[in-house]
């Protein structure tokens, strides 16, 4: 039975791979405690995007955007030799293990037809789409939610952006200002914010200026699925000046 005389509130800001990995390890550590030592635990995961995929791994993006790692490698839970030394995972599968589970029709897991079709063509060495990796992350978060519910842990997703984080004038912990929501308080806060918008570097700034002067277009580094590539008319030559920016010589 949970020790209801103690309670602990955790706020995880950012629900991409790192955020849900923190949730997974927190739950694993919690479940490893003797039941009578478990405090009442409340975990709020705050992100304007779906928990698991977050911003980068959205399941609705074009399947032309691929991961740069083959199926065999990525995982959001401990896998391989490391896993044996750590508290057991309540969700449990690496991407490749999940891929094989999904291929097993006897497992009876519902999946959109486009995901099934893509997964059927993948091998451990092939590169999955970001969308299907997002589906794995979404599935993992759903398993974590089931495990939390079964253990009496309050795990919820707040679909919003955290605007500020302050120490309350009295007491301990943190107060979170959340866009369009009541403030949240927490004993511990995890920042799992991923890549934040950044100012252009000097080189990128020069490229943008040159593009402006010559009536060309320069798109700065961004998450590709956020970018409207239709600004480049068909047939134009495009080149990538660095890994993530795009330059059009119209
Ligand atoms: C386009 C792109 C492709 C990539 N491809 C690969 C790849 O193929 N292989 C690989 O290993 N790595 C890749 N990466 C690296 C990638 O950063 C990591 O794989 C992983 O997504 C990092 O996880 P994260 O949770 O730290 O950050 P993210 O996935 O960026 O998640 C951070 C989350 O925090 C949320 N957030 C930020 N600020 C706030 C706030 N104030 N309030 C609430 N929520 C907030 C965001 O909405 C976002 O969902 C890629 C990165 C990008 C940008």
| Pocket of ligand 1 contains residue 76 by CB under 6 Å | no
Q: What is the pLDDT of residue 250?
A: 41
| Ramachandran angles phi, psi of 217, nearest 5° | -120, 135
Alpha-carbon dihedral of residues 15, 103, 98, 226, nearest 10 degrees? -30
| Pocket of ligand 1 contains residue 67 by CB under 6 Å | yes
What are the chain's domains?
A: 3-191 (3.50.50), 202-249 (no CATH)
| Pocket of ligand 1 contains residue 49 by CB under 6 Å | yes
Distance from the Cα of residue 51 to its chain's centroid: 6
Residue 74 alpha carbon, nearest atom of ligand 1 = 11
Q: Rounded distance, CA 250 to CA 246, Å?
A: 12
| Pocket of ligand 1 contains residue 17 by CB under 6 Å | yes
Q: Whose CA is nearest to atom 49 of ligand 1?
A: 54
DSSP E strand stretches across the chain: 3-13, 39-46, 154-158, 162-166, 174-178, 184-186, 188-191, 217-219, 237-239, 246-249
How many other C-beta atoms are found inside a 10 Å radius of the C-beta of residue 97?
14
- Measured in Å, residue 55 CA sits from the centre of ligand 1 at 6
| Pocket of ligand 1 contains residue 221 by CB under 6 Å | no
- Ligand 1 pocket check: which of 11, 16, 18 to mutate, most ligand atoms within 8 Å of Cβ? 16
User: Could you tell me the pTM of the whole model?
Assistant: 0.91
Window from 61-70, 107-116, 182-191 with minimum mean pLDDT:
107-116
| Pocket of ligand 1 contains residue 161 by CB under 6 Å | yes
pLDDT tens digits, 2-58: 666 789 999 999 999 999 999 999 999 999 999 999 999 999 999 999 999 999 999
pLDDT tens digits, 159-193: 999 999 999 888 899 999 999 999 999 999 999 99
| Pocket of ligand 1 contains residue 46 by CB under 6 Å | yes
- Measured in Å, residue 144 CA sits from the centre of ligand 1 at 19
| Pocket of ligand 1 contains residue 195 by CB under 6 Å | yes
Q: Which carries the bigger pLDDT value, residue 79 or residue 107?
A: 79
| Pocket of ligand 1 contains residue 23 by CB under 6 Å | no
Q: Whose CA is nearest to atom 11 of ligand 1?
A: 69
């Amino acid at each position: 039975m949970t020790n209801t005389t103690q309670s602990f509130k955790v706020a995880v800001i950012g629900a991409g791979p790192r955020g849900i990995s923190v949730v997974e390890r927190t739950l694993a550590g919690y479940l490893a405690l003797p039941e009578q030592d478990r405090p009442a635990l409340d975990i709020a995961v705050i992100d304007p995007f779906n928990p698991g995929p977050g911003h980068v791994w959205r399941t609705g993006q074009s399947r032309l955007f691929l991961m740069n790692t083959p199926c065999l490698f990525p995982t959001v839970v401990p896998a391989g030799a490391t896993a044996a030394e750590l508290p057991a995972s309540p969700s449990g599968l690496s991407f490749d293990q999940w891929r094989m589970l999904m291929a097993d029709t006897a497992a009876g897991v519902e999946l959109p037809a486009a995901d099934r079709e893509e997964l059927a063509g993948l091998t451990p060495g092939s590169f999955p789409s970001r969308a299907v990796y997002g589906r794995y992350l979404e599935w993992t978060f759903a398993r974590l939610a089931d495990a939390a519910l079964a253990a009496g842990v309050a795990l919820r997703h707040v679909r919003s952006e955290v605007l500020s984080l302050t120490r309350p004038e009295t007491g301990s912990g943190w107060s979170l200002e959340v866009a369009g929501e009541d403030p949240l308080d927490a004993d511990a806060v995890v920042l799992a914010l991923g890549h934040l918008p950044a100012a252009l570097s000097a080189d990128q700034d020069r490229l943008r200026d040159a593009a402006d002067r010559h009536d060309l277009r320069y798109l700065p580094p961004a998450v590709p699925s956020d970018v409207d590539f239709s600004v480049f008319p068909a047939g134009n030559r495009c080149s990538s000046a660095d890994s993530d920016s795009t330059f059009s010589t119209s």
